[in-house]
Amino acid sequence: MGRITLDKVSKSFGDVEVIPPLDLTIEDGDFTVFVGPSGCGKSTLLRLIAGLEDTSGGHIRIDSQDATHVPPAKRGLAMVFQSYALYPHMSVRKNIAFPMKMAGVSEEEQRRRIDAAAKALNLTDYLDRRPGQLSGGQRQRVAIGRAIVREPAAFLFDEPLSNLDAALRVGMRLEISELHKRLRTTMIYVTHDQVEAMTMADKIVVLRAGHIEQVGSPLELYRAPRNTFVAGFIGSPKMNLIEGPEAAKHGAHTIGVRPEHIDVVEENGIWQGTVGVAEHLGSDTFFHIHNTGLTDTLTVRALGEVTLSHGDTIHLSPRAEQIHKFDAQGLRIE
């Protein structure tokens, strides 16, 4: 079981309040992602749950037990760090065995769980190596193995893929998602990468300056961002946010249209502009469009290969039903 409840949890470093009191419930078995720009307090929040930082106020409950003042060792959570944080003087086998040794698991049981974890993570051939002799991806697998064997109430991941190269990152992302499907254990995952958040999460928690901006499933956040911050943060490329007369036409202070919700038309588009940079990805083409009179740069996604080059005039039609409206405070208008 691993239901985690934060009740008015806050954190200050000296006079600086990095997390104002916040409430959050993480359901048992959920894959929850904390996402936000750097410095938004997402890692601090994770460290509060882990017990590596003391709360300045509020209560943390793990499976309805008050864990606010329980030391990290006794919370029954496992953590995977960005830097892997393996024990450099121990072999892979000993690294994985360490939490079980601390918990007093019998040697026989330790061996059984190590073998199972090594098999699941493709580490069987590396059990007698030291972390220094492994690649980044393998090291991260060892860190995950070390977390799995202790059979924790929840896994905490602190930007675990940031140190890996792009190709490896995609692979490990899938591995972690598969691990979650198999174990069905609560996982909390911190990242600044909204693609990771969208692809892995059951539930995303968007944070800014210690505040929770929105909580919801990836598609909820994509379809109905609660404010302009979430609107701009979730989705790639970013949503176009337009202010001024065009927004006023829709009775809003700001309107938002995602690049994929603007169609490129032959002529008589509602909007028009000149093509700036075109990014050809094969499956899609992203156009950065200037001189629209709406914003500095409007991003548009066209399916497939579209042959328009720099300086060409382009006609555009936003899909009316996909226009998001926000008021002067940046809040969504339904």
Sites of contact with other proteins (CB under 8 A): 50-52, 71-74, 77-79, 81-83, 85-89, 98-99, 102-103, 146, 150, 156
Report, in Å, the least distance between residue 59 CB and other proteins: 21
**Nearer residue to other proteins within complex by CB, 85 or 170:** 85
Report, in Å, the least distance between residue 82 CB and other proteins: 8
**Nearer residue to other proteins within complex by CB, 51 or 318:** 51
**Nearer residue to other proteins within complex by CB, 83 or 291:** 83
Q: Do 218 and 197 form a contact (C-beta atoms < 8 A)? A: yes
Cα dihedral sign for 265, 271, 277, 283? negative
Report, in Å, the least distance between residue 137 CB and other proteins: 18
Pairing of strands 57-62, 211-216: unpaired
Q: Distance between CA atoms of 285 and 314, rounded to whole angstroms? A: 14
Tell me the backbone φ, ψ of residue 62, rounded to 5 degrees.
-115, 115
**Nearer residue to other proteins within complex by CB, 72 or 330:** 72
**Nearer residue to other proteins within complex by CB, 138 or 194:** 138
Q: Distance between CA atoms of 255 and 234, rounded to whole angstroms? A: 15
Report, in Å, the least distance between residue 150 CB and other proteins: 7
Report, in Å, the least distance between residue 215 CB and other proteins: 25
Report, in Å, the least distance between residue 102 CB and other proteins: 4
**Nearer residue to other proteins within complex by CB, 90 or 170:** 90
Q: Is 14 exposed, middle or buried (0-12, 13-18, 19+ CB in 10 A)?
A: exposed
Report, in Å, the least distance between residue 101 CB and other proteins: 8
**Nearer residue to other proteins within complex by CB, 52 or 308:** 52
**Nearer residue to other proteins within complex by CB, 88 or 282:** 88
Report, in Å, the least distance between residue 83 CB and other proteins: 5
Report, in Å, the least distance between residue 78 CB and other proteins: 6
**Nearer residue to other proteins within complex by CB, 73 or 248:** 73
